Amino acid sequence: MADFPSSPLPEYPIEELFAEPDVLISQHRDGSEQRRYKGAGKLEEFILRFGQSLPLTNTERMAIVNHYIAQHGRATSFNWAHPERGTVYLVRYNDRPNFQLVGYNCYSGSISLKVVNE
């Protein structure tokens, strides 16, 4: 199992979208409702931003891009350690990395990681 690169570190804030269970809600004519749990639904997601206050170099950017390529995009999962909590999550890429060139050898961008159950 591969690990996400330890450098560069993401900048704050780290956006955290918590798990949202899939619940079917049926409304009845008398105003009452019936709720049924259908499954785990959307799992936890983290959006990491890089290079906002201190831009990344091309080498730092390519460490993330090469990791994305090595994981075959969204196909395989890997370990990511939350920088604040130290908790290690099993995640996959939710989308491809998004980087912008903001100056000579200066990049900023973001990635989205989704927690997986394997």
Q: Helix/strand/coil (H, E, C) string of the chain?
A: CCECCCCCCCEEEEEEECCEEEEEEEECCCCCEEEEEEEEEECCEEEEEECCCCCECHHHHHHHHHHHHHCCCCCCCEEEECCCCCCEEEEEECCCCEEEEEECCEEEEEEEEEECCC
Confidence of residue 65 (pLDDT cuts 50, 70, 90): very high
Q: Where are the domains of the chain?
A: 11-21+39-115
**Per-residue model confidence (pLDDT) at position 99:** 95
Whether pTM > 0.75 for this model: the answer is yes
